[in-house]
Structure 1
Amino acid sequence: MEPARHRPKLFPPPEFPPRKKAIFSRMPPAVFPAILGFVGLGLAMRRGLSSHGFDATPADLLLAMACALWAFASFAYLVKLSRRAGVLAEDLRVLPGRNGLAAATMGGMAVAAALVPVAPHAAAILLVVSLLVHTALTVFSALMACRLSPEARPVDPGWHLRFVGFIVGAIAAIGLGWAALANALLWLTIPLAVAIWAASAHQFRHAAPPAPLRPLLAIHLSPAALFATVAAMLGHDGVATGFLALGTLLLLALLASARWITAAGFTPLWGAFTFPLAAYASALFANGLIWAGTALFLAGAVIIPAILWKTLTLWAAGSLAAKTNAAEA
C-alpha cells in the first residue's frame, strides 16, 4: 500500500481582469503632514509680508492653493471612511497613520487661521469642528494605546501632534477674538509638551531611534515654535521669548545632526520636516526677528514644496499607501 502523499493546498485562480480598486479606497493619511507644512508656509508668508509692510496678496494666493489641497485630501479620506468605518482604527494602529490623521485635523485649524481675514464665520465653524475631531481622535488613539503593553507604546515625537496639536487652533482663535480659548489652549498644552519632551529625552539617552524614524525628531521643534507665536500674539512676552530660545536650541541641534537624521534617505516621514520649519519661521516674525524669519522662510520656501511634491507624487503613483501601511476600505 502506497503511503499517503501530501496534497498541495489549492488556491483560487487570480481574477482576470484584475479587480479595479475603488477611488480613494486606500487614501494614505501620511500625505497630511506635508500639506500641514504647506499651509503653515502660507501663514508664515502672510505674517512675513505684513512684518515688512508689503501687500499680503501673494500669501493669500499661496494659502488658497494650500487650503484647496487640504480640502481635497480631507475629502478623499472621508470617501475612504464612508466605505468602511473600520479603516480609522486600522490607520491609527500604525505610526504614519496616527501622525497623518493628527496632522489632518491640525491642518483644519491652520486652514481656519488662513480663513479668518476673508471668511470669519467659515473659519469659526472649521476651527470648532477641527478641535472636536482632534479631541475625538486623541481620545480614541489613547484608548487603543492603553490596551497595549508599555513596551508596545513608547513615547514618540508624534505624541506632540495628538496631545499638543490643539495649540494650532489658538492662532485662529486669536484672530476671531476668542482670547479666552487661545489662553486655555496655550496653558493646557504647555505641560503636555514638557512631559513629552522629558519622556523623549529619557528614551533617547537609552536608545536612539532607527534611521527611518529619525526625521520624526524634527516634530519636537513645532510645539516650541507654536508656543512662541501664540504667547507673543497674546502679549505673554516672557513666555514667548523663553519658547523662542528653546526652539532656537532645538533647531540648532537638528541642523547639527541633519546628516544623521537623514541617513535613511527620503521617506514619507520627511513630511515631519515641513510644519516645524514653517512654524518656527512664523515664530520669528511674531517675535520681531523679521530678517531671521525671512531667511528661514526662504529656506522653507524651497524645502517644503519639494517634500510636498515628492509626497504627492508617491500618492498619485499609489506607492505612498504601501510604504506607510495605509488601511484599505
Structure 2
Amino acid sequence: MTQPRRPMPPPLYVPKPGFGRRTPPAIFAPIMGLFGLGLGWREAAVVFGLPTAVGDMILGAVTLLFLFALVAYLAKPARRAAVLVEDMRVLPGRAGLAAASLSVMLLAASLAQIVPGFATALAICAFVLHLGLVALLVYVLRTSPPEGRVVTPVFHLSFVGFIIGGVAANALGHHDIARAILWAMLIPAGVIWGGSLRQIITRVPPAPLRPLLAIHLAPACLFTIVAHGAGLPGVAQGFAGLAIVIFAALLISLRWLTESGFSPLWGAFTFPLAAFATALLLVSDGRGVLGLGAGVVLAGATVAVPVIAYRVLKIWPGGKLAAKTNAAEA
C-alpha cells in the first residue's frame, strides 16, 4: 500500500522583478525629519553664529536622498496607478504619502535663498500635489468602513500640512500668503487636536501606534515658525507655549510611547523634534532659558533624527520595510 503524498508547502512569496515595485511610502517620514533638521541648523547658524555649512550640507545630502526615494516611489504608480489608493488605505502609507509632498515644500523652503524662482514654482507644485493627495484621502475615507475613518494624528500631515507652505512663503518673502495659510490651518488643527484628546481620554491607544502621537507637536511648532516669519511675534510666542506643553507631555510619556519597541512608525518622532528645536530658536533668538533649551533640543535632534532615519531606511532594501508597513505592490 502506497503512502499518501504529503501536501506541498505553500510557495514562498517572490516579489516581481523591477525597480521600485514595492517602494514603501514610510521612507518619506524620516526624510521629512532630516529636512527639518537641516532647516533647524540653518536657523542655528543665524542665532548662535555657527557655520552655515552645517545646515547646507545636511540639506544638500537630504535633497539627494529624497530625489532618489521619490523616483523609486513614482516607479509604482507609473506601472499601476491604483497603488496610490492602496497605499492610502493603510496608516503608514497615508502618513508617508503626505510626508512626501510636504518634503517637496520643505525642499522649496531650503532653496528659496539660492534659486527663488525655481523654489517658487516648486512650492506651488508641492501645494497642488498635496491638495490632490488630500482629495484622494477624502475619497478613501468615504469608501472605507467606519473604523477606517477614525481621527488619527496622521490627519495633521494631510489636513494641516499646508502650513509648511507658509514656511516656504516666508522664505520667499510672501508674508501675506504665509499669514493667510496660518489662519486657515488653525481650524483643522484644532479639530484634530480636540478629536485626538477625546480619544485618548476614552480609550488607550494600542502600543504600536503610540509613536504617531508625536505628530501632535508638529502643528504647534509650525504655527510658531510661520507666525514669527510673518511678523506676528505675539502669536508665535503663544504657539511656542503650546508646543512646550505638548513636548513636555510627550517627554514625560516617552517610555509609554515607545513601549512596543522600535518600528518604522518611529519616523513620526523625527520632524516634530526638529521643528520644535527651530521654533525655540526663533522665539528665543538664542537667549535665556529658551535659547539654552533650543540648543539642547537641537543637539538631541541631531543625534536622534539621523539614527531613527538610518534604522528605518536600512530595512528598505530587501522588502522588510514594505512588509512591515503593508505597502502596495505595482
TM-score relative to the length of structure 2 = 0.93
Give the CA deviation at 1:316: 1.9
Q: Which residue of 1 aligns with 2:295?
A: 294
- 3-state SS of paired residue (2:314): helix
- The code of the aligned residue for 1:318 comes to G
Aligned 8 A contact 2:92 2:265 in 1: yes
Alignment pair present for 1:58 and 2:54: yes
Task: Work out the CA distance in 2 between the residues paired with 1:126 and 1:76.
Answer: 19
Alignment pair present for 1:266 and 2:262: yes
Task: Work out the CA distance in 2 between the residues paired with 1:100 and 1:145.
Answer: 16
Task: Work out the CA distance in 2 between the residues paired with 1:14 and 1:146.
Answer: 36
Which blocks of at least 5 consecutive residues in structure 1 are unaligned? 1-7
Task: Work out the CA distance in 2 between the residues paired with 1:204 and 1:107.
Answer: 29
Select between 290-299 and 81-90 the one with higher mean Cα deviation: 290-299
Which blocks of at least 5 consecutive residues in structure 2 are unaligned? 285-289
Give the CA deviation at 1:19: 6.9
- The code of the aligned residue for 1:294 comes to G
Q: Which residue of 2 aligns with 1:314?
A: 315
Alignment pair present for 1:23 and 2:19: yes
Aligned 8 A contact 1:48 1:290 in 2: no
Give the CA deviation at 1:54: 2.8
**Residue in structure 1 matching 2:194, options 179, 198, 201:** 198
Aligned 8 A contact 2:175 2:229 in 1: no
Q: Which residue of 2 aligns with 1:303?
A: 304
Equivalence map 1:272-287=2 (5 Å): 272-287=268-283
Task: Work out the CA distance in 1 between the residues paired with 2:205 and 2:304.
Answer: 23
Equivalence map 1:1-329=2 (5 Å): 20-288=16-284, 289-329=290-330
- 3-state SS of paired residue (1:316): coil
Task: Work out the CA distance in 1 between the residues paired with 2:108 and 2:51.
Answer: 21
Aligned 8 A contact 1:221 1:251 in 2: yes
Give the CA deviation at 1:151: 3.2
Q: Which residue of 1 aligns with 2:287?
A: none
Give the CA deviation at 1:175: 1.3
Task: Work out the CA distance in 1 between the residues paired with 2:107 and 2:134.
Answer: 20
| 1:266-324 deviations in Å (ceiling 9; x for gaps) | 00000000000000001011112432211100000110000000111010232000000
Q: Percent identity?
A: 46
- The code of the aligned residue for 1:311 comes to V
Task: Work out the CA distance in 2 between the residues paired with 1:297 and 1:316.
Answer: 30
What is the alpha-carbon root mean square deviation over aligned residues? 1.9
Task: Work out the CA distance in 2 between the residues paired with 1:242 and 1:177.
Answer: 23
TM-score relative to the length of structure 1 = 0.93
- 3-state SS of paired residue (1:72): helix
- 3-state SS of paired residue (1:314): coil
Task: Work out the CA distance in 2 between the residues paired with 1:107 and 1:287.
Answer: 24
Task: Work out the CA distance in 2 between the residues paired with 1:299 and 1:161.
Answer: 23
Aligned 8 A contact 2:176 2:230 in 1: no
Task: Work out the CA distance in 1 between the residues paired with 2:314 and 2:15.
Answer: 23
- The code of the aligned residue for 1:328 comes to E
- 3-state SS of paired residue (1:131): helix
| 1:90-113 deviations in Å (ceiling 9; x for gaps) | 000100000000000111111111
- The code of the aligned residue for 2:149 comes to R
Aligned 8 A contact 2:42 2:55 in 1: yes
Task: Work out the CA distance in 2 between the residues paired with 1:80 and 1:203.
Answer: 35
